[in-house]
Amino acid sequence: MKKDFLAITDFSSSELQYMLERAVILKEEWKQGGNAPILKGKTLGMIFQKPSLRTRVSFEMGMNHLGGNAMYLSPSEIGLGQRESVADVARVLSGYVDAIMARVFSHQHILQLAQWSSVPVINGLSDYNHPCQGMADALTIIEEFGSLKGRKVVFVGDGNNVAVSLMFISARLGADFVITGPEGYDMRQADILKARALCAESGGSVTEVRDVQEAVIGADVIYTDTWTSMGQEEEARKREMVFPPYQVNEALVNLAAKHVIVMHCLPAHRGQEITDDVADGSHSRLFPQAHNRMHAQKAILEYVFK
């Protein structure tokens, strides 16, 4: 039976913990001189509908480190769901490569790829969630604090795809997750309720707080993202009027715990959701977090190929 990696909620806390432990080991192996070629002879086909720096390079290098190959397929080469149906693309690629990673607009395209592909499918991002980012985020927090258990993780911004995966991995691993943002840009209530159900097992919590200053008091992690995500460009001006009170700046960071770390999935719009002094300051973990995409994804790749 093939193993897909589509959403954090598809996995138990022990499965997630195992992959994160493997990420720690694989990262240390790489630092000590290189990983064993456990994916020798394997090829990952990478479908991109959206441009990417971190997703493309981290997956390509991750496959390279593990002895495999990665093949980049641009939006113009495939035209997923337009030039050719998602089902046909999945069935054709399945005969050429050993796994598929896709970075898409519509989450339905990820689900359809997984449905029709005979090889594992990895969700490199959709409009609904970003589970690979969530795994890198968890790895970064674990490196800092040892675990997510009992840590206060505050997401400042709208309830977007990054927030969804961060919330679910926080809920699975026992963190106290708080989301704060302007009215009208909230997380879907169905996802909040789903995460709270997971917290019943892990001992974590999920809270919505409108006042950003109240939200970050005692925070171990402050996490933010761009005010306007890809595909929302027509809303940019409206969002730029609504989100400034939720900027992560030095005054806000000073309300959190002294050991707080600041995270951002990047790319950052400096001067909007985050200021330079925070992004480049002592609390920032933006770049170790970005580098952890590669190491967390190596653990995901190892998992789906097993």
Nearest-angstrom CA–CA distance, 174 and 137: 14
Q: Is 199 a catalytic residue?
A: no
Contacts of 69 by beta carbon, 8 Å cutoff, 6+ apart: 42, 43, 44, 63
Q: Identify the active-site residue in 265, 283, 285, 295.
A: 265
Q: Is 133 a catalytic residue?
A: yes
Residue 254 has, within 13 A of its CA and on its CB side, a CA count of 4
Q: Is 225 a catalytic residue?
A: yes
Q: In 10 A of CB 160, how many CB atoms?
A: 24
> Cα-flanking dihedrals φ and ψ of residue 304, to 5°?
-70, -25
Q: Identify the active-site residue in 109, 239, 293, 295.
A: 293
Of 27, 29, 3, which is closest to residue 15 (Cα–Cα)? 3
Q: In 10 A of CB 182, how many CB atoms?
A: 18
Q: Is 98 a catalytic residue?
A: no
Q: Identify the active-site residue in 130, 151, 264, 283.
A: 130
* Residue 284 per-residue DSSP state: B
Q: Identify the active-site residue in 65, 109, 127, 133.
A: 133
Q: Identify the active-site residue in 54, 103, 109, 239.
A: 103
* Residue 221 per-residue DSSP state: E
Q: Identify the active-site residue in 225, 247, 285, 289.
A: 225
Q: Is 56 a catalytic residue?
A: no
Q: Is 130 a catalytic residue?
A: yes
Question: Which positions are catalytic?
Answer: 103, 130, 133, 225, 265, 293
